Amino acid sequence: MILTSKSPTVPNGVNRRRIVKKLSALLPFLALAVLLLCTAFPEFLAPKDPYAQSLIRRLKPPSFLPGGISGYILGTDQLGRDILSRIIFGARVTIITSVLAVCVAAVVGTTAGLVAGYFRGRVDSAVVRAIDVQLAFPVVLLVIAIVAVIGPSLSNLIIVMGLSAWPQFARITRGAVISVRDLEYIEAARSIGAGHMRIMFRHILRNILSSIIVYATFEMARMMLVEATLSFLGLGVQPPTPTWGGMISDGSKYLGLSWSVSFFPGLVIVLAVLLVNDLGDRLRDFMDPYLKND
């Protein structure tokens, strides 16, 4: 009698679940790639000229709905401009402004947190008091007040948004520095004559950088909302440059005639914020093995 061994077969349901899990993990990165392409090359991705106006085709619904115009997939705004093209071009303003604002906040906040956590004493007390004072003001109201005074422009927007977010970076950095400043490898660096600047930026910062990067990702999503809020209020980048918040503001005046002018830019903001937050979760899980999901 000949015995044959058969390898165990994997049920089709298990295979499907594995495929779905892999696709669900891949989709956010594909969406992020599309968002970055829209930021870098909107001229090649936009189907129409985002500035071309025509009162004949104003406030038309999406092309897949009755009354829509062929080629205008998401419809037109109050000046007959293509909504999809303006959303694609608006991605550049939102992403670049948010990224640069987070960079400003990270540089200022990380430096302040490093100095406060490393030297402690009066320096630490001064930085903590400055953090408490700024956190006492609502961020959005503070940014609106400053931009209203100095004027709306891209450079002013980036600087003000960045300086409004430095306390959070300083608090995270300060806490991380305090937890590692007295460890053995820091004492070893001091014993061989390493200076304060070398210890702070070469030894301490390199070991706490992962938490700063993860928080910067989450802060990116918040900056996108702040930029959209300022653009909605007319304090962001000025027309005719398309911005997502500005498109929502323009469409809010015509909601009774066309819902699509405000709906699609708002939907894109929601999806972009969710996408960036999901990226932050994945970075956190990747950089911190203790928080890894099963």
Residue 144 predicted with pLDDT over 80: yes
Over residues 146-178, the pLDDT tens digits come to 888 888 788 888 998 998 889 999 999 999 898
What percent of the chain stands above pLDDT 90?
Answer: 36
What's the confidence (pLDDT) of residue 103?
94
What's the confidence (pLDDT) of residue 261?
92
Residue 5 predicted with pLDDT over 50: no
For the entire predicted model, the pTM comes to: 0.85
Over residues 232-246, the pLDDT tens digits come to 988 888 888 899 999
What's the confidence (pLDDT) of residue 263?
93
Over residues 32-63, the pLDDT tens digits come to 888 889 888 999 999 999 999 988 999 999 99
Residue 1 pLDDT level (bands cut at 50, 70, 90): very low
Please choose, from the candidates 103, 76, 135, 80, the residue with its C-alpha nearest in 3D space to the C-alpha of residue 264.
76
d(CA 207, CA 114) in angstroms, rounded, equals 12
What's the confidence (pLDDT) of residue 153?
82
Over residues 77-104, the pLDDT tens digits come to 999 999 999 999 999 999 999 999 999 9
Coil, helix or strand for 44?
helix
Note the maximum CA span of the chain: 93
Other CB atoms within 10 Å distance of the CB of residue 148 = 13
What percent of the chain stands above pLDDT 70?
Answer: 90
Coil, helix or strand for 108?
helix
